[in-house]
A and B are shown apart, each in its own frame.
Chain A
Amino acid sequence: MHVAFQWQNLLIAFFGAAGGIVIGGLPGLSATMGVALLIPVTFGMHPASGLILLGSVYCGAIYGGSIAAILVRTPGTPAAAATVFDGYEMTKKGQAGVALGAAVLSSFVGGFISTTILIFVAKPLAMFSLRFGSSEFMWLGIFGLTIISSLAGKSMLKGLLSGAFGLLISTMGMHPLTGFMRFTFGRMELYDGIPVIIAMIGMFSISQVMFLCEKEGSVSAEITDDIGRVFPTWKELNLVKWCMVRSGFIGTVIGAIPGAGADIASFVGYNEGKRWSKHPEKFGTGYIEGVVASEAANNGVTGGSLIPLLTLGIPGNAVTAVLLGGLLIQGLVPGPELFTKHGDITYGFIMSLYLAKTFYLVLGFFGARYFVRVVSTPSGVLAPVICTLAVVGSFSINNSMSDIWLMLLMGFLGYGMRKFEIPLAPICLGIILGPMVESNLARTITVAAAKDTSVLMMSLTRPICLILIGMVVLSLMAPYLSERSAKKRAAMLDTAGVTDEVE
Chain B
Amino acid sequence: MLTKDLYLALGIILFSIVSYIGSLPYPHQSAYFPRFIIFLIGFIGCVLLIKEIQKIKKTDSTKIKAGAGSGDDIPIFKQPAFIKVATMIVASALYLLAIDLFGFFSSALVYLPIMIWVLGVRKIRTIITATLGVVFFIFLIFSIFLKVPFPEGILF
Residues in A lying within 8 Å of B, measured CB to CB: 40-41, 44-45, 157-158, 160-161, 164-165, 167-168, 171, 175, 177-178, 180, 182-183, 206, 209-210, 213-214, 216-219, 378-381, 383-385, 387-389, 391-392, 395-396, 399, 401, 404-405, 408, 412, 415, 419-420, 422, 438, 441-442
Chain A residue contacts of B146, Cβ below 8 A = 41, 44-45
Chain B residue contacts of A161, Cβ below 8 A = 12, 41, 44-45, 48
Question: Given the interface contacts A161-B12, A180-B30, A213-B84, does A168 sit within 8 Å of B37 by beta carbon?
Answer: yes
| Complex alpha-carbon distance, A420 and B151, angstroms | 34
A388 touches B108 (CB 8 A): yes
Question: Given the interface contacts A161-B44, A385-B130, does A395 sit within 8 Å of B37 by beta carbon?
Answer: no
- Is residue B77 contacting chain A, with contact meaning CB distance below 8 A? no
The 6 closest A-B CB pairs, nearest first, are: A217-B120, A217-B119, A380-B119, A384-B115, A214-B81, A218-B120
Chain A residue contacts of B95, Cβ below 8 A = 387, 391
| Complex alpha-carbon distance, A384 and B117, angstroms | 10
- Is residue B68 contacting chain A, with contact meaning CB distance below 8 A? no
Chain B residue contacts of A442, Cβ below 8 A = 29, 33
A370 to chain B, nearest CB (A): 15
B34 touches A178 (CB 8 A): no
Chain B residue contacts of A158, Cβ below 8 A = 48
| Complex alpha-carbon distance, A230 and B121, angstroms | 33
B115 touches A383 (CB 8 A): yes
A146 to chain B, nearest CB (A): 12
| Complex alpha-carbon distance, A392 and B85, angstroms | 21
| Docked complex: B107-156 residues within 8 A CB-CB of A | 108, 111-112, 115-116, 119-122, 126, 130, 134, 138, 142, 146-151
B41 touches A157 (CB 8 A): no
B111 touches which of A157, A175, A218, A388 (Cβ 8 Å) = A388
Chain A residue contacts of B99, Cβ below 8 A = 391, 401, 404
Closest to A19 in B: B141
B116 touches which of A167, A384, A405, A415 (Cβ 8 Å) = A384
- Is residue B93 contacting chain A, with contact meaning CB distance below 8 A? yes
Question: Given the interface contacts A380-B119, A396-B149, does A164 sit within 8 Å of B44 by beta carbon?
Answer: yes
Chain B residue contacts of A218, Cβ below 8 A = 119-122
Additional A-B contact list (19), CB under 8 Å, known A167-B37, A392-B142: A161-B48, A175-B30, A214-B84, A216-B120, A378-B120, A378-B126, A380-B121, A381-B116, A381-B121, A384-B116, A385-B112, A391-B104, A395-B104, A396-B148, A401-B151, A408-B92, A420-B4, A420-B5, A420-B8
B38 touches A168 (CB 8 A): yes
B119 touches A383 (CB 8 A): yes
B147 to chain A, nearest CB (A): 6
- Is residue B106 contacting chain A, with contact meaning CB distance below 8 A? no
Closest to A408 in B: B92
Contact residues of B: prevailing secondary structure: helix
A384 touches which of B26, B119, B126 (Cβ 8 Å) = B119
Closest to B79 in A: A214
- Is residue B40 contacting chain A, with contact meaning CB distance below 8 A? yes
B119 touches A379 (CB 8 A): yes
A378 touches which of B23, B111, B121 (Cβ 8 Å) = B121
Q: How large is the interface on B (under 10, 10 to 19, 20 to 34, 35 or more residues)?
A: 35 or more
A304 to chain B, nearest CB (A): 30
| Complex alpha-carbon distance, A383 and B81, angstroms | 14
Residue from A178, A384, A419, A422 whose CB has the most chain B CB atoms within 10 Å? A384
| Complex alpha-carbon distance, A44 and B148, angstroms | 8
| Complex alpha-carbon distance, A180 and B27, angstroms | 8
Chain B residue contacts of A404, Cβ below 8 A = 96, 99, 151
B96 touches A405 (CB 8 A): yes
Chain B residue contacts of A171, Cβ below 8 A = 33-34, 37
- Is residue B88 contacting chain A, with contact meaning CB distance below 8 A? yes
Chain B 59-91, CB-CB to A under 8 Å as 1, else 0, gives 000000000000000000000010011011100
A437 to chain B, nearest CB (A): 8
- Is residue B14 contacting chain A, with contact meaning CB distance below 8 A? no
Chain A residue contacts of B116, Cβ below 8 A = 217, 380-381, 384
Chain B residue contacts of A384, Cβ below 8 A = 111-112, 115-116, 119
Chain B residue contacts of A182, Cβ below 8 A = 23, 26, 30-31, 34
A47 to chain B, nearest CB (A): 15
B130 touches A408 (CB 8 A): no
A381 touches B96 (CB 8 A): no
A203 to chain B, nearest CB (A): 15
| Complex alpha-carbon distance, A167 and B105, angstroms | 36
B93 touches A408 (CB 8 A): yes
Residue from A45, A158, A164, A383 whose CB has the most chain B CB atoms within 10 Å? A164
Chain A residue contacts of B29, Cβ below 8 A = 175, 177-178, 442
A210 touches which of B31, B85, B122 (Cβ 8 Å) = B85
A389 touches B115 (CB 8 A): no
Chain B residue contacts of A422, Cβ below 8 A = 8
A408 to chain B, nearest CB (A): 6
Chain A residue contacts of B120, Cβ below 8 A = 216-219, 378, 380
B33 touches A438 (CB 8 A): yes
21 contacts across the A-B interface (CB closer than 8 A)? A157-B48, A164-B40, A165-B41, A175-B29, A175-B30, A180-B30, A182-B23, A182-B30, A183-B34, A206-B92, A218-B122, A378-B126, A380-B116, A380-B121, A383-B115, A385-B134, A387-B95, A389-B138, A392-B150, A395-B149, A412-B89
B88 touches A213 (CB 8 A): yes
Chain A residue contacts of B138, Cβ below 8 A = 388-389, 392
B99 to chain A, nearest CB (A): 7
Chain B residue contacts of A388, Cβ below 8 A = 108, 111-112, 134, 138
| Complex alpha-carbon distance, A182 and B26, angstroms | 8
| Complex alpha-carbon distance, A217 and B93, angstroms | 20
B55 to chain A, nearest CB (A): 12
Chain B residue contacts of A45, Cβ below 8 A = 146
